[in-house]
Amino acid sequence: MIAYLWILVACSSDGGSRALPELPPLPEPVDAAAVVLGPERPLREAIVALTGAVRGEVEVCGCPTTPYGGFARRAALFDRLREAPVPLFSVDAGEMLVKGMTGRDELDRRVRAEAVVGLAEGTGLDAWAASPIDLTPGGLALLARHGALAANWGGSAGLLPVRVVERDGVRLGFVGLAAADESHPAGNAVEAVLAAMTESVDAWFVLSNADLATNLLVAEGVPGLGAVLATEGDRHDPPITTRGAPIVEAPGRGRYVTLIHLSLATDHRQLELVTSGIWRDIAVTRYRRELDAIEPEVREAESKADHRRLVRRTAGRAVAYVEDIPLSADLDGATNVDSQLERFREAILGAARLSAVAVDQGGYATASSCSGCHRDRIASWGFDAHAHALESLITSKKADNPECVACHTTGFGQAGGFAAVEDKAIGAFRDVQCEACHGPMKGHTGRTGARSRPVTEATCRGCHDEANSPKFDYSTYLAKISCSRLAAPDDVAP
């Protein structure tokens, strides 16, 4: 009512001395969706599936707060995507092979590396970038044998700089950009990428595990580049828009697959990133199984209408819609890599057996032997989560999986330890016992024989790595270990 009276007074010719304040002129409207168009070409669609920094993660583990990932689920996702009427290209930005500190020894690392690259090829890998960390298991020979790319390593031992893949009428080029190490300097990344981009393609991509500064130089310094597809840095950043090509990072450890939905209707040029509109509408329906419930006639009519809108909106543009897809339980089921996974488990067990017998003396005494002299510490350990580590595997039905057993038992695949994932074999070695942290102590008798190794942060990170224990903090976790807080008068050895 008050506002109404104020308006009457303000607007009345005889009723008031108040005048409405003079407003500043409105700015000229800006079309936020305006883009620079290129020469129009027929629309070509494709999906690029990107992974990076997988770091030897083969199967789903229940340890992380987000138990996603694994090659079986990746294969299932790709099978769904291949049902869409657009070609799928699978690429990896590097750091794919090595499991870091949880690799037990050189034999384990080699077996795992061969298995990982074989599984990636089994899911349809088209191109991947070499990286220094991938040299650890088998060196350049392994990378060259499986076609790893490194344009900036100067043709090291036969590594190719580029791979061009054509599928269903879409031709994409992928250039490898590897990070530097002591024996393989990175060289001039921009020049290396420019020299590799010689063929005629629909879009060029760089697969990079270099640092962000190098990726920015390439993104902004290479004309005609579609995008830089990279491993994540200190954290996973959303797609980065630069003054040149965008940079898209893949989440690490193979927990997600990054899908880049391409709509190309101009000559090859940097991609325009979009987050909504018809591009998103079409992308998010390509593999959603709930759409199967829609009547086929209705779905086909809507699809044709969407495609007409896509052609109209994409004319003269090169557009990419990016989404990170979690490899979650809805992708579980039989896949074409199941037999490969079974062979991988057998190979890991074989490597563990060879390592376990590779000792003439010593080995693991197990907690039952420790209790004779260290009664208080064993009693305290019994209340620790480490003393119940195997229970979680039994509950999740993973107690026969060598990928999990290594961190939930003591001495698996270690010299003088055990290498059979059977109840009888695991019995004495079950859970995370004293020797899991202090090292094998068989032959230790008071002040003679085997000596305990110091427990450091590196000791813990062998299992509490970023993939399986993402919230690990050494000081915080160490304070939770009951035996570390107990002063035991019956300890007879330092």
Kindly give, in sequence order, each residue whose CB lies less than 8 Å from that of residue 143, ignoring residues fewer than 6 positions away: 130, 134, 135, 159
**pLDDT value at residue 22:** 58
Strand partners, 92: 51, 128
**CATH placement of domain 361-485:** 1.10.1130.10
Q: What are phi and psi of 390, to 5 degrees?
A: -75, -25
CA–CA separation, 427 vs 425, rounded Å? Answer: 6
Provide the pLDDT for residue 248. 98
pTM metric for this prediction: 0.85
pLDDT value of position 21: 57
- Structural domain spans, the chain: 40-290+301-331, 361-485
Assign domain 40-290+301-331 to its CATH superfamily: Metallo-dependent phosphatases (3.60.21.10)
- According to the model, what pLDDT value does residue 317 have? 96
Which of 395, 394, 409, 404 minimizes the C-alpha distance to 70? Answer: 404
Note whether 137 and 97 are within 8 A (CB).
Answer: yes
For residue range 84-115, what is the model confidence (pLDDT) as tens digits?
Answer: 899 999 999 999 998 764 456 777 788 889 99
- The encoded tokens of residue 383 equal 């209340």
Q: Give the pLDDT confidence score for residue 491 in this predicted structure.
A: 42
251: phi then psi, degrees, rounded to nearest 5: -60, 145
Q: Which two tokens stand for residue 294?
A: 């829609």
Residue found under tokens 């879409």: 170
> Which distant-in-sequence residues (6+ apart) come within 8 Å of 412 by Cβ?
104, 352, 402, 405, 406, 418, 419, 429
3-class DSSP assignment, residue 49: strand
How far apart are the C-alpha atoms of 209 and 94, rounded to whole Å? Answer: 6
Q: Phi/psi zone of residue 317: left (φ > 0), alpha (ψ -120 to 50 degrees), beta?
A: beta
Strands (E), 185-253: 203-208, 227-231, 247-250
Q: What is the pLDDT of residues 398-439, one digit of tens each?
A: 888 888 888 899 988 888 888 888 877 788 899 999 988 888
Q: What's the rounded Cα separation, in Å, for the pair 155 and 146?
A: 15
Q: What is the DSSP letter of 96?
A: -
Give every CB contact of residue 259 below 8 A, 6+ residues apart in sequence: 47, 48, 49, 50, 81, 283, 322, 323, 324, 325
The residues pairing with 272 across neighbouring beta strands, listed in sequence order, are: 319
CB contact set of 322 (below 8 Å; sequence gap of 6+): 239, 248, 258, 259, 260, 261, 273
> Is the separation of the CB atoms in 91 and 229 below 8 Å?
yes
Confidence (pLDDT) at 488: 42
Low-confidence ranges of the chain (pLDDT < 50): 1-18, 27-32, 101-102, 487-494
